[in-house]
């Protein structure tokens, strides 16, 4: 197991693993966990994950089942947002 940081924005905050500081929370995940495996563990609907960053780098949807998270990584997720 190792710890990452999870940041969920807008309506996705309801899936935060615990109350965090400034919208982020620590999360313990298994070594080799991928972006999508962590999101599934948190019960975040994958279809609501529009913008996904790991350490500030965009992770394309086709790579989210392959991109393994390392100790200390920050996973940030935004849903689709409409505005004017």
Please tell me the pTM assigned to this model.
0.92
Instruction: Give per-residue pLDDT as tens, 6-56.
Output: 999 999 998 987 766 677 899 999 999 999 999 999 999 999 999 999 999
Neighbours of 79 (CB within 10 A): 16
Per-residue confidence (pLDDT) for residue 74, from 0 to 100: 98
Residue 62 lies in a domain: yes
Count up the domains in the chain and report the number.
Answer: 1
Q: What is the pLDDT of residue 69?
A: 98
User: Is 27 within a domain?
Assistant: no
Range of the domain at 47: 1-17+34-71
What's residue 21's pLDDT? 66
CA–CA distance from 76 to each of 22, 41, 49, 84 (Å)?
Answer: 13, 15, 10, 23
């Amino acid at each position: 197991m190792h710890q990452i940081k999870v940041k969920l924005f807008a309506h996705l905050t309801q899936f935060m693993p615990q109350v965090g500081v400034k919208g982020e929370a620590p999360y313990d995940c298994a070594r080799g966990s991928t972006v999508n495996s962590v999101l599934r563990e948190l019960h975040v609907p994958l279809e609501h994950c529009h913008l996904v960053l790991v350490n500030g780098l965009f992770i394309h949807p086709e790579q989210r089942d392959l991109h393994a998270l390392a100790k200390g990584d920050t996973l940030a997720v935004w849903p689709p947002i409409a505005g004017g």
